[in-house]
Chains A and B, each alone.
Chain A
Amino acid sequence: MSEVLLHAEKIDKNFGVTHAVDHVTLDFFKGEIHALIGENGSGKSTFTSCLTGIYHKDSGTFTLNGKEINAKNQVDGNYQGVAVIVQEIGTLSGLSVAENIFLGKEDEFTKFGVKNTNAMNKKAQELLDAYGFNYIKATELIDNYNFEDRKLIEIVKATHFKPQILVVDETTTALGEKGRIELFKVMKQTRDDGRCVIFISHDLDEVIEQSDNISVLRDGVFIGTVKSSDVNTDDLKKLMVGREMSNNYYRTDYDEVVSDEVVLKGENLTVPGEIDDFSIELHKGEIIGIGGLSECGMHEVGKALFGASYDREGTVTLADGTKINDIKTAIDHSIAYASKDRDNESLVINDTIQDNICLPSLEDIKRNHILHGKDEKAFAEKFAKQMSTKMEGVHQFMSALSGGNKQKVVLARWIGKDSDIIILDSPTRGIDVKVKADIYQMMDTMRKNGKSIIMISEEIPELLGMADRIIIMKDGRQNGEFKRSEDLKDTDLIANMV
């Protein structure tokens, strides 16, 4: 094996009573892509955040090339040889592309307190051109670029100075095909240069495909390292969860007859620039999967059906004739919606688990027109526990939860509301296999209890495994419909997506 580049010695980090990273000792080698996997809340991101300066570790040491490093923040980390690309957006609106690339490094272009903006712009443009992103202009406001392009700019920002260690933290879930290809190119280049990539992803196939070695964390504890070429996804699942996982956690039925009763009908739905003349009929006890490439308009369909789209044309009608034109009417008529953008559109991050779960059900929790704290707590605890949410208690703030547990709170909220129609946009995005299995189980139980589900997903196995019917979208329009079948292949769906 090649030379150790980074040695982590007994890294320890606590958040209150939660022991997020428990004395982890781990080596990363020169010229490798080293994946870090584990369930949500296993400590992967906390570990790398301690390395890159986002968090400060409680104890332990990182030694890079034989020298101890201790990053105070991300830019300080950059100067010490480590960089990170995060899952969510990491660029700042209101600044130019060049200012974003060199944020925190202005001193490189500053003399006597005066910033040489032209030199900074020129350098940034050279970098963008060198990465092949010459259509991105360094002088333009970053606001003029879409999410994907902003991620590409982030890749330039994090890698242009050739960091010894590049952390890629669940970035791929936020990227489309183009972004992934560019990211993987940069990762491979980093490895080929004799540096190291620490790659965090929940997509185990992707992990095996892209990495050389895989280390597993469970509940903040280092479990072990395996060679990617020696394992398959089931081996990894077992290592992550600590027990055998069922090989197939999707539905196994293929011959169940779906009710004829239509519970929701969307007709000729159009949202300018997003969806075009889209129609759908959802039956009682049915799971409809909607898939496609990320920009195909499918995410807007969820909003349109929930009455949350602006400038929507067409109608959404319930079985009793009620028209759904706004969110309040939707919730009042037992429709639930979990957005893909969990932190910004589904959860009140700076609030407690209790308040998040109780929010749409306050009218039901009230006694004699008054809300009682005890009742709210009992309500929240009941549904948080039903979803096996990992938490200190329902008083805990959402911001302290991992991605998977946040999603459990979103689902607990709507289970608490006992909604009959549930629209789930990317329900398992950035979520580990165990929580995924829990969510699929919950969906199956709901379906059997007569609830109807629309599941919007970019994951083809999920669509094939869970949906009674799959609608594929392309360029804002429906481009194929498939009934649940054992013979249905991912290639059938892909052919209609591209």
Chain B
Amino acid sequence: MSKFQKFKQSQVFGLLLLIFIAFVFWAFFKALAPQTFGDFNKLQTYLKTALYYAVGGCGLYFICVMGPFDMSVGANIVLSSVLAVNMSKQFGYAGLLIAPIISGVLVGLINGIVYIKLRISSLIVTAGLSLVYEALSIYATNGKEAILATNYRAFGDYPWNLVLALAAFLFCGFILKYTKIGTYTYAIGSNEVVAKNMGVNVDKYKVVAFTLCGFFVGIESILTISYGTSMTSASNLASMSRNFPPLMGTFFGLAFKKYGHPIVAIVIGEFIIELLFEGFVALGAPTTVQNIVTGIVLLAIVTMTIKPVKGAVVK
């Protein structure tokens, strides 16, 4: 293998590639909308949004690597956010921080247990349970908008949003690299039967993956409510649209997994998606065009990065 080929497989290459893609999009929109896009202050704002989506993306990564899927992330964010508001009224920052994490973990745990016990598609299980979580969010707010008091919004801005997000990223990276959970996540995703034969309790670790997803979505909820300051309860699967922003980061994580730093890929990936969205806003493009182009660009980036093997079965 030549030195260049080796370099192309290295962690540094993966990181440089991500930074390069981000730079290309920044330069593109900056050239087209120099006044309204991409100055330092705006970049900070883009990063702020990217950070909280990336935290949720980290959670989804555990599930997506194993194979199943979680459609209840949006409902979890809505429920955990309104509970955060309610609990902050009684317990201050302790309520704001602890309630959504407990709520997120419980939602994840329930998702995992129901999925394992019923033995039906995770898509169906989590979509069905989303209706339940949405209903609970209506009970928690009596159908009214939950607004976070102004004196509890520190995690909506720098530096505390960054501190919380970084702590979440480090924790996620630690789990993946320095615990059995990380190894088993990849093992189950690679071949469930072989993993089982090696003594891996596949059902247990799937539940762990859903629970971890819920945990990180709980943290995403803290950042979401702190930044957005209010949350309206949802019904009829209206929360579904909240599933996709963190998922886009997860796609980047999966695509750059081979370079050995999926968490970095999730964060920069979310930033790239944010650059795209904000770039179109700066250009005044209609939302439909923004969505079309963003979707195509996302697919193009992931496809180019994965370089699928011809003839390989893709499910």
Contact = CB atoms under 8 A, between A and B. Distances in A.
Nearest to B188: A92
Interface in B152-202: 177-180, 182-183, 186-187, 189-191, 194-200
B183 A115 contact: yes
Contact of A75 (B180, B182, B199): B199
Nearest to B196: A73
A310 B310 contact: yes
Interface stretch (A99-107, A194-202, A225-233): A99-107
A73 B179 contact: no
B310 A94 contact: no
A99 B190 contact: no
Instruction: Give the size category of B's interface with A.
Output: 20 to 34
A91 B191 CA distance: 9
B58 to A, nearest CB: 17
Contacts of B183: 95, 99, 103, 106, 115
A74 B190 CA distance: 17
Given A73-B196, A99-B183, A92 B178 contact: no
A113 interface: yes
A90 B187 CA distance: 11
Contact of A114 (B179, B195, B196): B179
Nearest to A310: B310
Given A103-B183, A115-B183, A73 B190 contact: no
Interface residues of A, number: 29
Interface string B252-269: 000001100000000000
Nearest to B190: A92
A73 B197 contact: yes
Nearest to B9: A144
Contact of B186 (A54, A92, A106): A92
A104 B198 contact: yes
Nearest to A54: B197
Q: Choose among B187, B197, B200 the residue with the greatest number of A CB atoms under 10 Å from its CB.
A: B197
Contact of A94 (B186, B196, B198, B311): B186
Nearest to A113: B179
A95 B187 contact: yes
Contact of B198 (A74, A110, A143, A311): A74
Nearest to A102: B183
Contact of A92 (B179, B187, B199, B310): B187
A74 B199 contact: yes
A308 B194 CA distance: 29
9 contacts: A73-B196, A92-B190, A92-B191, A93-B191, A95-B183, A110-B179, A110-B180, A115-B183, A308-B311
Interface of A: 53-54, 72-76, 90-95, 99, 103-104, 106-107, 110, 113-115, 117, 141, 143-144, 308, 310-311
Interface of B: 9, 65, 177-180, 182-183, 186-187, 189-191, 194-200, 257-258, 310-311
The 8 closest A-B pairs by CB, nearest first: A75-B199, A310-B310, A92-B190, A104-B199, A104-B198, A94-B186, A73-B199, A93-B190
